[in-house]
Amino acid sequence: MPDDAPELKRARTLADGAEVILVEPDSDARARRAAEIAEERGFFPVDPFDDLAVAAGQGTAALELAEDAPEGFERFYAPVSGGGLMAGCAVVLAALHPQAELVGVEPEQGNDTALSLAAGERRKVPPPRTLADGLRVRIPGKLTFPVLQKHLSRIELVGDEELLDAMAFALRELRLVLEPSGAASLAVALREGRGRCAVLLSGGNVEPSLLAEVVRRAGPR
């Protein structure tokens, strides 16, 4: 886990009985250390996103959405990091709601997928500096990127201020506590604000100090 991950996320992981090993906030460093641990202890490594079975499992979120909205929607928003979540969702929606525009959302400084799609090949970015600690992967997955190339309509970028405003909107209007990564898709949906949209929200690990700022923003407008 990155050593700058929210303390609440670390505490909850420990409470679930996991051993937490801290590394520098760089997805490459995390992958290297995970591979070393697997080699040292004889573990079988499971990639958090660049695994088609993992992506398929994450895609069940879109399957549930499709079941709940059989009449369809014009646009689907989801956060993109390594691409597992969006790849899985994209395959589902391409089959069940092919008319929907699929919009991936990345932090402004974690725009590896946007750059990769523009270049037609995977591109790496420096370690992103963003509140969205769950969206700091530096390069799209080798297995997930071709899926995104095939199905994704576009990528939109979001800044930290928009993330905070989206978190405040979710708290005020939806009574949901979202972490910055989980609010990324909502931020762009609010920015564009049109049509019948499906928005994937995920993650609620927020440091108390950051939540206090979100509460302040969520106050009377």
Cα–Cα distances in Å, from 139 out to 47, 87, 107?
Answer: 14, 14, 13
pLDDT in tens, the chain (221 residues): 888 888 888 999 999 999 999 998 888 888 899 999 999 999 998 888 999 999 999 999 999 999 999 899 999 999 999 999 999 999 999 999 999 999 999 999 999 999 999 999 999 999 988 999 889 999 999 999 999 999 999 999 999 999 999 999 999 999 999 999 999 999 999 999 888 999 999 888 888 899 999 999 998 76
| Cα 167 from Cα 171, distance rounded (Å) | 6
Question: Which residues make Cβ contacts (< 8 Å) with residue 68, sequence separation at least 6?
Answer: none
Report the alpha-carbon distance of residue 204 to residue 86 in Å, rounded: 19
CATH numbers and ranges of domains, the chain: 7-41 (no CATH), 52-216 (3.40.50.1100)
Q: Supply the pLDDT for residue 221.
A: 62
For residue 122, the model assigns a pLDDT of 97
What is residue 144's predicted lDDT score, i.e. its pLDDT? 97
pLDDT of the residue at 192: 95
Convert the chain into a string of H (helix), E (strand) and C (coil).
CECCCCHHHHHHHHHCCCCCCCECCCHHHHHHHHHHHHHHHCCCCCCCCCCHHHHHHHCHHHHHHHHHCCCCCCEEEEECCCCHHHHHHHHHHHHHCCCCEEEEEEECCCCHHHHHHHHCCCCCCCCCCCCCHHHCCCCCCCCHHHHHHHHCCEEEEECHHHHHHHHHHHHHHHCCCCCHHHHHHHHHHHHHCCCCEEECCCCCCCCHHHHHHHHHHCCCC
Predicted pLDDT at 219? 85
How far apart are the C-alpha atoms of 68 and 145, rounded to whole Å? 28
What's the confidence (pLDDT) of residue 26? Answer: 85
Residue 166 is predicted with a pLDDT of 97
Record the pTM: 0.91
